[in-house]
Amino acid sequence: MSKAPHSSALPPTHTGNGGETHQTAGGDVPVMTTQQGVPVADDQNTLRAGATGPALMEDFHFREKIFHFDHERIPERVVHARGYGAHGYFELTDSLADVCHADIFQRVGERTPAFVRFSTVAGNKGSADTVRDVRGFAVKLYTKQGNWDIVGNNIPVFFIQDAIKFPDFVHAAKQAPDRDFPQAQTAHDNFWDFVSLSPEATHMVMWAMSDRAIPRSFRFMEGFGVHTFRLIDAQGRSTYVKFHWKPKLGLQSIVWNEALKINGADPDFHRRDLWQAITSGHYPEWELGVQLFDDAFADSFPFDILDPTKLIPEEVVPIRRVGRLVLDRMVDNFFAETEQVAFCTQNIVPGIDFTNDPLLQGRNFSYLDTQTKRLGGPNFTHIPINAPKCPFHNFQQDGHMAMHNPKGRANYEPNSWSQPAGGPRESADGYRSFPAEVSGAKQRQRSDSFADHYSQARLFWISQTPVEQTHIRDAYIFELSKVETPAIRARMVSHLRHVDEGLAKGVAHGLGLSPLPEPAKAARPVVEGLKPSPALSILRNGPDSFTGRKLGIVVTDGVDHHMLTALRDAVAAIGGTVELIAPTVGGLKDSTGNPLVAQQRINGGPSVLYDAVALLPTVEGANTLRHEATMRDFIADAYAHAKFIGHNDAAEILLAAAGLHPRMRDEGVIALEGTIDADRFVQTCGALRLWAREGRVHTI
């Protein structure tokens, strides 16, 4: 049994197997011991023959310590290696008992413990957070009838239609095997070679080129179960379902140039954001939404509901919001929990079932298989983060690290030792698969109903605002400009001609590609009369306030106390946070002599780390900072990234030094003349960006 450490500076304490308590070295501090419980006299010096002589093999303490260290690493996940997790709960707000008998969906107000791990896909464990990539959104729900994992992404569709293509897709996306670069990037020949040869990827690639792939933080992104699943009611009837997680704080992404810079300034940007939000009590929250539909709808829908490259627009099948997911506790230990958590798509509970989506069926094999490799054996379910919180009972035994072997003589079923009646146990509540009818010839064949690869890519495109369309076009140009093989660039543009002629031309122009390549051969023509789905746009689903966002305020020694306080209060009042950026982090005072602590030094806190910025230097401070290159970058970037900039009078010379001449001042550069302006400024920041500026600062 583990006990909480006395303080985070001490090694963890464990009571003995027999519950014996610890020897103490005086006070509350436990004696350090080996793994065998032997008290250690000296943990700083190896056993040697003489003070300068050779180390001795018999030093069992040294050998145990080094041996354990040597074995600290386990294989990182083959995909989604970089991730960050937190604990929380799911609370039911609308009973789904009408369509589903899963225990978790029966009682409104009841909370179910949850663990969530967010991740990037392509990068290694140590890669940066704001790379262009899909984000994993994996949720483990510890229900009273077993663990249910919804292993989703922040994008509702996937690149491929059949699981057998997954190793190829992942190989192509990750570093090339001969050179082992690029790291965590899709901007390279192999990725674009593969996707341009796999037209089914066109839809998802549109999402990956959109700002969905550079979220501002995990807190501001949606999650999707992607596949169509089934809900089963108490009578055994099935309803199809797609799962959605909707962030309470609205959607938000960063811009690409910002993403590149954040990766340098703070490669842990998303982790830090989640850590800071949860540890400061601003618990991130999502609503669980379900799209429910039946066979009649599935038959009438122009796309196959089993095809994971297709979504069902919310405007066609509305989302019913049935619960909320709140993350309110960081892990005690990253390795024990976030690294060892083992999500498996096959972890479902009574009332939930799979469909014949070929990607989902393949995943049901892969996840169990990969956990066994990664966590070293079949008993990874014994690790506390993976164990159910409800009682469990079976006769599985042995294997590496077995912790739950059956007690007593019976380890098989049926048996007459543990069962008065002797027969095998049966449970009325036990998991029963939906008895779907199955027929057909055994063959390797892609269904013809999966053949439309362009219509939904177009649907996505026409659902974006012009700003978002520009970002998508620019992302294609950026990525394909990193592709060295002209034929791959051209092949990609040939697909885009089915998505949108303007997009194809824009990308070709940006690449200097002429003439425009012929459209790729399409198995199916694009569906006519597609209606935009506003739900697919980030900007149409953004926040309407600065809640949960961060303001960076540049201050210098002697900063005006009243203005600073007014800004801080205005941000705090709507649940945002503030960081101070200054020439030194310590030794600062405000105008009333109150000591101030800055969170960042000016060269360590670039404006890319903030949602909006304010400049409150003193006249003297501004005179010094005007010569500081990182100060100029701070302002120039905030401006180029279309952020709101508040400033006092003294900051005028800083704006000028950053090249922000009076004619460039727009409604996003806001004078803070008195404390009265603070509230208005923070309200304005709720729009997050002045997108109209973006067109003015980019000329190519």
Q: Please list the residues that pair with 290 across neighbouring strands.
A: 243, 320
Report the nearest approach of ligand HDE to the CB of residue 453 (Å): 17
Which residues are CB-neighbours of 378 under 8 A, at least 6 positions away? 372, 396, 399, 400
Contact predicate 130/271, CB 8 Å: no
Give the relative orientation of helices 501-511 and 466-482 as an angle to the nearest 10 degrees: 40
The stretch among 252-260, 264-272, 365-373, 671-679 that binds ligand HDE (CB under 6 A) is 365-373
Nearer residue to ligand HDE within complex by CB, 340 or 684: 340
Nearer residue to ligand HDE within complex by CB, 140 or 497: 140
Site string for ligand HDE, 301-340 (x = CB under 6 A): -------x--------------------------------
Tokens at 452, concatenated:
């439309």
Distance CA 405, CA 417 (A): 16
Report the nearest approach of ligand HDE to the CB of residue 236 (Å): 26
Which 3 state secondary structure label does DSSP give 157?
coil
Which residue among 61, 87, 147, 153 is the active-site one? Answer: 153
Site string for ligand HDE, 18-57 (x = CB under 6 A): ----------------------------------------
The footprint of ligand HDE on residues 118-177 (CB under 6 A) is 119, 136, 138, 151-153, 158, 163, 166
Among 363, 495, 550, 632, binds ligand HDE (CB under 6 A): 363
Which helix (H) or strand (E) element contains residue 52? Answer: none
Nearer residue to ligand HDE within complex by CB, 378 or 532: 378
Distance CA 358, CA 361 (A): 5
Which residues are CB-neighbours of 394 under 8 A, at least 6 positions away? none
Which one, of 358, 536, 355, lies nearest residue 447 by Cα?
A: 358
Identify the residue whose tokens are 């083992």.
342
Among 61, 79, 223, 274, binds ligand HDE (CB under 6 A): 79
**For 458, left (φ over 0), alpha (ψ -120 to 50), or beta?**
alpha
The stretch among 12-20, 33-41, 357-365, 487-495 that binds ligand HDE (CB under 6 A) is 357-365
DSSP codes joined into one string, 615-672 = EE--HHHHHHHTT-HHHHHHHHHHHHTT--EEE-GGGHHHHHHTT--GGG--TTEEE-
* 424 DSSP 8-state letter: P
The stretch among 74-82, 626-634, 637-645, 675-683 that binds ligand HDE (CB under 6 A) is 74-82
Which 3 state secondary structure label does DSSP give 23?
coil
Which one, of 70, 121, 115, lies nearest residue 334 by Cα?
A: 115
The reply to whether 220 sits near ligand HDE by the rule CB under 6 A is no
Spell out the alpha helix ranges (H) of 483-500: 486-499
According to the annotation, is 425 in a ligand binding site? no
Report the nearest approach of ligand HDE to the CB of residue 670 (Å): 40
DSSP codes joined into one string, 306-358 = T-TT----TTTSPPEEEEEEEEEEE-S-HIIIIIT----TT---TTEE----H
Which residue among 80, 203, 270, 641 is the active-site one? Answer: 80
Pairing of strands 645-647, 612-616: parallel
Among 231, 359, 385, 638, binds ligand HDE (CB under 6 A): 359
According to the annotation, is 166 in a ligand binding site? yes
Chain center to CA of 276: 15
Nearer residue to ligand HDE within complex by CB, 360 or 459: 360
Nearer residue to ligand HDE within complex by CB, 115 or 610: 115
According to the annotation, is 293 in a ligand binding site? no
Which 3 state secondary structure label does DSSP give 253?
strand
| Terminal C-alpha separation, the chain | 63
Q: How many residues does the chain have?
A: 700
Pairing of strands 645-647, 669-671: parallel
Report the nearest approach of ligand HDE to the CB of residue 245 (Å): 12
Which 3 state secondary structure label does DSSP give 115?
strand
Among 6, 13, 22, 78, binds ligand HDE (CB under 6 A): 78
The C-alpha R_g of the chain, in whole angstroms, comes to: 29
The footprint of ligand HDE on residues 83-122 (CB under 6 A) is 83, 117, 119
The stretch among 299-307, 360-368, 424-432, 542-550 that binds ligand HDE (CB under 6 A) is 360-368
Distance CA 656, CA 76 (A): 49
Which one, of 93, 185, 83, lies nearest residue 138 by Cα?
A: 83
Nearer residue to ligand HDE within complex by CB, 149 or 273: 149
Report the nearest approach of ligand HDE to the CB of residue 151 (Å): 5
Number of residue whose CB is nearest ligand HDE: 136
Distance CA 523, CA 517 (A): 18
Site string for ligand HDE, 565-594 (x = CB under 6 A): ------------------------------
Nearer residue to ligand HDE within complex by CB, 134 or 580: 134
**For 270, left (φ over 0), alpha (ψ -120 to 50), or beta?**
alpha
Report the nearest approach of ligand HDE to the CB of residue 308 (Å): 6
Among 30, 61, 80, 535, binds ligand HDE (CB under 6 A): 80
According to the annotation, is 374 in a ligand binding site? yes
Report the nearest approach of ligand HDE to the CB of residue 111 (Å): 22
Pairing of strands 13-14, 2-3: antiparallel
Nearer residue to ligand HDE within complex by CB, 124 or 366: 366
Report the nearest approach of ligand HDE to the CB of residue 134 (Å): 8
Identify the residue whose tokens are 């149409």.
540
Nearer residue to ligand HDE within complex by CB, 92 or 342: 342
Report the nearest approach of ligand HDE to the CB of residue 682 (Å): 35
Does 153 participate in catalysis according to the annotation?
A: yes
Which helix (H) or strand (E) element contains residue 166? Answer: helix 166-173
Among 343, 450, 454, 639, binds ligand HDE (CB under 6 A): 343
Identify the residue whose tokens are 């190793």.
167
Does 80 participate in catalysis according to the annotation?
A: yes
Pairing of strands 320-330, 83-92: antiparallel
Nearer residue to ligand HDE within complex by CB, 137 or 610: 137
Q: How many residues bind ligand HDE (CB under 6 A)?
A: 25
Residues binding ligand HDE (CB under 6 A): 77-80, 83, 117, 119, 136, 138, 151-153, 158, 163, 166, 226, 308, 343, 359, 362-363, 366-367, 370-371
Q: Which residues are annotated as a binding site?
A: 77, 117, 166, 363, 367, 374
Q: Which residues are annotated as a binding site for heme?
A: 77, 117, 166, 363, 367, 374
Show which residues are catalytic.
80, 153
